[in-house]
Chains A and B, each alone.
Chain A
């Protein structure tokens, strides 16, 4: 792993983007601030319409912010046109030039930068090798497959050695198997080139597997920024918990806060410890989240945090999902990894105890 110094490649400072005017105006981005570190694989994750593509377009220069600054290594690039920014984009539709060959496509950026012919050729050859497309360099872009077009688009954007590479849902047009391959390929490319990647996706699995850090976005705001593990284990808001993975939401009451952790009382009366989002000092009624695989089941009720009735058991090969109904009527799902030959007496319609361990619960901001 290349070391990741705390130097910021991109700083987005209080950026807003408002489309339309008067009554019909829509804030695609609402005072968004985020810092993206050098050499980082950073993902903007969110549902469609959350503003992630707008933010990418602002960094690329295809659109200009209504307010705020975008700093590239400290220099404000927000007013610059795209051709003056040392930032390149991999487009969702690839946008390869149909009247040029694969090699001409890859060399285009260098040519526009006025590099000497010999340097362009050497760099194009290196890029072709990097994305394993040497054999097809003389082909037209219409004569190669979707996966190959994807590689050419990557090589074309990487060839001018941009300070930051922007990727706008580049894998969404590929089939499942190819997408998996390209995920690993992208990680390899980022590792080998040492370029900062900003990746936009709505696919949470893609975000979790590839990113160093993720920013979860919704309705023009960034809700949480953190490592995949942070985002998954310690979601700060209900939206984040809901959007990424499966979640159980429980109503609880705060009975004490100390050292960044809280003690909360569940509806069953049991008190359990719960972690807190950064900067939150909760009081009164809160919602906590428990991931289905972070809770355990026991056939006996004693010592359990909650008790419930088994409504449904879904066997999925690698693991089993237990759909439970709690005493207060709320649903609760527990996921357990399967091993061979287990029979633990948990049956549909039976009563079970649910254990929520010391580090399984997280208090949400909302």
Chain B
């Protein structure tokens, strides 16, 4: 038999795969179903209803937290993508030099350091600044999100750059393009799908963050995830399910949108 060693034909493969998918998706399916529960319980079915969606929509706290999440996510994603693009250019467009590995590690630090450590560190650090400046706006959250989003934006951009032929930039320089115009006309257009991927990823990561946000936020600065966490402490209703469902749909929409954009560009 030709595909004797194919993993598809190993005994138990189908069972393991099915189990994995069930564990991954069944809770989500249940969550979505109970978002339409008419009852107040998240475990007992009381008939079909949109009322929790309506209730969430009319809850100004939810709307506030959502808008704040989007605001922080959009600004942080933008800044982190700009920094990540510059970092990716600096680490791929030069000949390898001593210390390059250290720079990779430094850029990817937020992936490795436990979030709780960063959270506590930022809490202490920002409280100092708050004392000196008296400023206590959203800037701290945006700065924190920008910092931990950089490696997520960096990875797809760097991957794209590494697959890009350096000769193209050389050819542009040969055809009288200054380094800046080479970047604008050749590197940037070709890098665009990578930058978009980085931007989307950074946005989704920022939207989702709980730990660091919980430490850094001042009073009245709840983002959607920290608001939901607070709600659960005070007793859970299907409103949370409804919010989660909308959140889920939004994430899927963003990822799908990006998929089609990048497909078209290639």
Contact = CB atoms under 8 A, between A and B. Distances in A.
Interface of A: 60-62, 81-84, 87-89, 91, 93, 95-99, 108-109, 112-113, 156-157, 160
23 contacts: A60-B174, A81-B173, A82-B173, A82-B174, A83-B174, A83-B175, A83-B177, A83-B178, A83-B179, A84-B176, A87-B174, A89-B174, A91-B170, A91-B171, A95-B170, A96-B171, A97-B171, A98-B168, A108-B175, A112-B172, A112-B177, A113-B176, A157-B175
Contact of A93 (B165, B173, B181): B165
A108 B172 contact: yes
Contacts of A96: 171
A184 B70 CA distance: 63
Given A91-B167, A95-B170, A97-B168, A156 B190 contact: no
Contacts of A112: 172, 175-178, 181
B189 interface: yes
Given A99-B190, A108-B177, 10 more contacts: A61-B174, A62-B170, A62-B173, A82-B173, A95-B165, A95-B167, A95-B170, A95-B171, A97-B168, A157-B174
Contacts of A61: 173-174
A93 B174 contact: no
B186 interface: yes
Nearest to A89: B174
A99 B175 CA distance: 16
B14 to A, nearest CB: 40
Q: Which of B175, B177, B179, B181 has the most CB of A within 10 A?
A: B175
B175 A88 contact: yes
A109 B165 contact: no
A40 to B, nearest CB: 21
A99 B266 CA distance: 9
Contact of A98 (B172, B174, B176, B190): B190
Contacts of B167: 91, 93, 95
A222 B177 CA distance: 32
B189 A156 contact: no
Interface string B146-174: 00000000000000000001011011111
Main secondary structure of the interface of B (DSSP, over half): helix
A200 B130 CA distance: 65
Interface residues of B, number: 18
Contacts of A160: 175-176
A75 to B, nearest CB: 17
Interface of B: 165, 167-168, 170-179, 181, 185-186, 189-190
A70 to B, nearest CB: 15
Nearest to B168: A95
A109 B176 contact: yes
Nearest to B170: A62
B176 A83 contact: yes
Contacts of B171: 89, 91, 95-97
A82 B176 CA distance: 7
A309 B192 CA distance: 71
Contact of B173 (A83, A98, A157): A83
Nearest to A104: B185
A195 to B, nearest CB: 15
A211 B185 CA distance: 36
Nearest to B176: A112
Contacts of B190: 98-99
A160 B172 CA distance: 13
Nearest to A57: B170
B157 to A, nearest CB: 17
Nearest to A88: B174
A347 to B, nearest CB: 56
A61 B171 CA distance: 11
A3 to B, nearest CB: 29
A113 B172 CA distance: 12
Contacts of B170: 62, 82, 91, 95
Contacts of B186: 97
A93 B168 CA distance: 10
A333 B175 CA distance: 49
A304 to B, nearest CB: 56
A98 B178 CA distance: 19
Q: Which of B170, B174, B176, B185 has the most CB of A within 10 A?
A: B174
Contacts of A97: 168, 171-172, 186
Contacts of A99: 189-190
Contacts of B168: 95, 97-98
A60 B170 CA distance: 10
Given A82-B170, A97-B186, A156 B165 contact: no
A112 B176 CA distance: 6
Contact of A109 (B175, B178, B179, B189): B175
A109 B189 CA distance: 17
A81 B177 CA distance: 10
B66 to A, nearest CB: 37
Nearest to B182: A83
Contacts of B172: 97, 108, 112
A95 B165 CA distance: 8
Contacts of B189: 99
Nearest to B181: A112
B99 to A, nearest CB: 17
Nearest to B171: A95
A96 B171 CA distance: 8
A99 B191 CA distance: 11
